Copies of this chain bind each other. A is one copy, B any other.
Amino acid sequence: MSPRVTILSGGVGGAKLALGFYEVLEPKARLTVIANTGDDISLFGLCICPDTDILLYTLAGLVNLETGWGLAGDTFHAIRSAGRLGATGWFNLGDRDLGTHLFRTELLAQGVSLTEITRRLAAALGLGCAVLPMCDSPMPTRVVTDEGDLHLQEYLVRRRAEPVVKALRCEGASGARPGPALAQAIAESALIVLAPSNPLISIGPILAVPGLRELLRLSPALKVAVSPIVGGQSLKGPSDRMLAQLGHEVSPLGVARLYRDVLDAYVIDIEDGADRPAIEALGLRCAVLPTVMRDLAAKRALARGLLMLLDGFGPGDPR
């Protein structure tokens, strides 16, 4: 039986590594994926959880591989009809994908928790692993920019990450708590991985759930992050631009500094091997692996590489 693994993840980038673990862990129930819900948005009265759904669809093999989000082969009749009438047109939602949002919104109105709804979605999609929202209460990430205070999706999708970011704010954080299933997964895992997702708007909001950093520190697991910055750039999305605008170094080291209080180890890409001493100077073990997941084989290989760290840097191993 594989060791128990928990991965903290945003959308497209993190989902690749989550899929890698989903492929190599036996049984698949050894995997828990904690999804960022800071990017959740209410549109048309519907509760939409983009990162959660990307994870669910990716793990179920249903995701649209061209876009990285939504369902393969979906149509867009509803959203286009709404748009022709004059409704919000900047957030694209497929018809079959809408089914997920209809289901989720109906259950939320009945008082069912987001954790339980996500469990039912995962079960309906036939997933063998657990997917957990970072918390059950809304905790939207607000982006303070030179164009004003925007919802994360307004910044990312409507404004294509063009405004200059001055600050990030996790609304509703004071009322948020990690759920019991999440606390248990963190406590019982041998390996906890911070996926190579955006450190500011994907992993950052998860770590901002009150009590979650403490749960990580208390866990006996090996805690390791994979750098989302390779060769001075983010592989996907505006991580690099946002890091720079908020005064962080755009490098594996810049990201490692954001996580160092909860990490034992850090993985950088072979392209950034020269940064290893600087990472180790932070007090972190550092591994150098191929982290760019171009295909399924590369996703599996990175997951296996991270599992191998359990032997080298294993739990209980002194830093």
A residues near B (Cβ < 8 Å) are 43-47, 74-75, 77-88, 95-103, 105-109, 120-121, 124
> Are B124's CB and A99's CB within 8 A?
no
Task: Give the CA-CA distance A226 to B99 in the complex, in Å.
Answer: 41
The smallest beta-carbon distance between A225 and chain B, in angstroms, is 33
Q: B99 and A87: CB pair below 8 A? A: yes
Docked pose: A81 CA to B82 CA in angstroms: 19
Given contacts A45-B47, A82-B106, 4 further A-B contacts (CB under 8 A): A43-B106, A46-B46, A85-B103, A87-B103
Residues of B within 8 A of A105 (CB): 44-45
Residues of chain B within 8 A of A83, CB atoms compared = 99
Minimum distance in angstroms from A77 CB to a CB of chain B: 4
In the complex, which residues of chain B have a beta carbon less than 8 angstroms from the beta carbon of A95? 75, 77-78, 81, 95, 98
Contact B102 A87 (CB under 8 A): yes
Find the B residue at minimum CB distance from A76. B95
**Which residues of chain B have C-beta atoms less than 8 A from A109's C-beta?**
45
Q: List 26 A-B contacts (CB under 8 A).
A: A43-B106, A44-B46, A44-B101, A44-B102, A44-B103, A44-B106, A45-B47, A45-B106, A45-B108, A74-B77, A75-B95, A77-B98, A77-B99, A78-B95, A78-B96, A78-B98, A78-B102, A79-B102, A82-B98, A82-B103, A83-B99, A84-B99, A85-B120, A86-B120, A88-B106, A95-B98
A43 nearest in chain B by CB position:
B106
The 7 closest A-B pairs by CB, nearest first: A81-B99, A77-B95, A82-B99, A78-B98, A44-B102, A82-B102, A45-B45
In the complex formed, the residue of B with least CB distance to A105 is: B45
Closest to A81 in B: B99
Q: Give complex CA distance A99, B78 in Å.
A: 4
Docked CA distance A21–B96 (Å):
39
Q: Give the chain B neighbours of A87 by CB distance below 8 A.
A: 99, 102-103, 106-107
Q: Are A85 and B98 in contact (CB under 8 A)?
A: no
Smallest distance from the beta carbon of A92 to chain B beta carbons, Å? 13
Bound state CA distance, A45 and B78, in angstroms?
16
Nearest to A75 among chain B residues (CB) is B77
Chain B nearest Cβ from A83, distance in angstroms: 8
Kindly state the separation between the CA atoms of A17 and B142 in the bound complex, as whole angstroms: 51
B86 touches A103 (CB 8 A): yes
Instruction: Indicate whether A77 sits within 8 Å of B96 (C-beta atoms), given known contacts A44-B46, A121-B85.
Output: yes
Whole-angstrom CA separation of A236 from B233 in the bound complex: 66
- Find chain B residues with CB under 8 A from A101 CB: 44
